[in-house]
Chains A and B, each alone.
Chain A
Amino acid sequence: MARIIVVTSGKGGVGKTTTSAAIAMGLAKKGHKTAVIDFDVGLRNLDLIMGCERRVVYDFVNVINGEATLNQALIRDKNCNQLYILPASQTRDKDALSQEGVGKILEELKKDFKYIVCDSPAGIEKGAHLAMYFADDAFIVTNPEVSSVRDSDRMLGILSSKSRRAEQNEEPIKEYLLLSRYSPGRVKLGEMLSLEDVQDILSLHLLGVIPESKSVLNASNSGMPVILDEKSDAGQAYADIVDRYLGEERPHRFIDEDKGFFRKLFGGK
């Protein structure tokens, strides 16, 4: 059975698109046919991070309006042939998406794909609502700061009351926490909430901690999801997350201050 994953947060700029690109690539590289959809109509970001911005002909809105077929609009990723991208339109506004239209497209994708990753726009308005409405799983991306945690909590309330699963009294959406841009050093200095603080408020199943990392910016500049940078800490964090989501055991990392320096110093591995 296909699963629809929404990557959402409430607050803007916390790493939803970075995460969507990374986990979609991670799932596809594991051999699962995956589609990633940009719900941020009007802004268009995902295609840049995926490095396919120069191959966009049709977009999500074209498909909803019947101006293009799904096959015409889906862009096959250049690094992984199991991965397809459905870009957002830059020229329309958010009202171009309708619940019925989105539902139809997702149904069609479900016939052919194992995972459908929905990159939600920020906020709790229509675009974010449509991105989460049909979801089976929700990846809640949160930064270790009060406003981001608050907004995540708000989004969790919406998931549990306004989603299709909630409305039809089905099993609720599975919710996972992805704590992103984490910096143990700054936590220690009291400049950031700790993982424990965040979990005290959200008490969610933790899928992984993604460290604050320069590799994210490098990756997006080169149009490669950071998970392909296997040497980078953020890339490894996302790889762990994909493995855990698929049911494998991976010890959590990047929570405590890096001991790498001492390890190097003393010749440890």
Chain B
Amino acid sequence: MSTNSKKTPNTSLALEFKSSNFSVPVLALSSNDLITIEQQLKEKASLAPEFFKNLPVVIDLQNSNKLNYDIDITLLIVVIKKSGLLPIGIRGGNAQQNKQALDLLIPIYSANNGLTHEEPQKQPTPTPEIITRDTSTMLITQPIRSGQRIYATGDLIITAQVSSGAEIMAEGNIHVYNTLRGRASAGIQGNKDARIFCFDLQAELISVAGNYKVSEDIDASVRNKPVQIYLQNQALIIQDILQHH
């Protein structure tokens, strides 16, 4: 770090701008009631504290502004930080909100995912610096061991084993291309169409949109088999994938 250290030869660059796509969750607000927001954030965070801790988010104000809820950005940022999240941008804000964000050194993103550009976005295929998607797929190739918790905002694909005592959660589907011995919850925010797929079912608990079965309730006929698990009329169905009807 010192300035009088060896001079870098002119030929080697000290830095480089690279284009890249980040996947950052978006926090879409549809209320300006900071107390309710704080409370609901807290509830969400309690579902997966490890995941939410220092999670970067972009705050989306499109909907709340459409509903004429004027949110004070300065106060909102305080509430969000308090819940452990790290706001790294806002989008869909009005002039006043954008100014408040910039005063806090928080970048402004355009509503179409990319960074705000001065020029109007007429080009059909702009290349945004940051793509914010909240339904990205999470791929894990390492074993999930006892005591570990994984939370995916979209689908979750795991190619290694999930040990008993481990917990995997996804807002979308869960695929485990290995033995599933821990707890698996798909559609954790209420998506009833979510499914769990696994190569070898030995789970301690399985759940889709809050409808669960514990190990004891899982029929022996579907244990140690490749199965899919889904909801049908509020009932959790466990089906042997290889069994043809």
Contacts and interface: CB of A to CB of B under 8 A. Distances in A.
Contacts of B148: 157, 160-161
Interface string B119-153: 00000000000000000000000111111100000
A160 B145 contact: yes
B165 A150 contact: yes
Contacts of B144: 157
Contacts of A154: 145-147, 165
A150 B145 CA distance: 9
A200 B144 CA distance: 14
Interface string A145-159: 000001001101110
B163 interface: yes
Interface in B132-191: 142-148, 161, 163-166, 181
Contacts of B164: 150, 153
A158 B165 CA distance: 13
Interface in B184-212: none
B146 A153 contact: yes
B165 A153 contact: yes
B155 to A, nearest CB: 21
A172 B140 CA distance: 14
A77 to B, nearest CB: 35
Contacts of A161: 148
Contacts of A160: 142-143, 145, 148
A157 B166 CA distance: 9
A2 B180 CA distance: 37
Nearest to B166: A157
Contacts of B163: 153, 157, 201
Contacts of A153: 145-146, 163-165
Contacts of A156: 143, 145
Nearest to A153: B146
Interface string A192-203: 000000000101
Greatest chain B CB density within 10 A among A150, A153, A161, A203 is at A153
- Chain B's interface size range is 10 to 19
Contacts of A157: 144-148, 163, 166
Contacts of B181: 201
A157 B163 CA distance: 10
A209 to B, nearest CB: 21
B142 to A, nearest CB: 6
Contacts of A150: 146, 164-165
A153 B160 CA distance: 14
B148 to A, nearest CB: 4
B161 A203 contact: yes
Interface string B37-68: 00000000000000000000000000000000
Contacts of A158: 145, 147
A203 B143 contact: yes
Contacts of B145: 153-154, 156-158, 160
A153 B147 CA distance: 9
A157 B161 CA distance: 12
Given A150-B165, A153-B145, A160-B142, 16 more contacts: A150-B146, A150-B164, A153-B164, A154-B145, A154-B147, A156-B145, A157-B144, A157-B147, A157-B148, A157-B163, A157-B166, A158-B145, A158-B147, A160-B143, A161-B148, A201-B181
Interface of B: 142-148, 161, 163-166, 181
> Top 6 nearest A-B pairs by Cβ distance?
A157-B145, A157-B148, A154-B146, A153-B146, A156-B145, A157-B147
Interface of A: 150, 153-154, 156-158, 160-161, 172, 201, 203
30 contacts: A150-B146, A150-B165, A153-B145, A153-B146, A153-B163, A153-B164, A153-B165, A154-B145, A154-B146, A154-B147, A156-B143, A156-B145, A157-B144, A157-B145, A157-B146, A157-B147, A157-B148, A157-B163, A157-B166, A158-B145, A158-B147, A160-B142, A160-B143, A160-B145, A160-B148, A161-B148, A172-B142, A201-B163, A201-B181, A203-B143
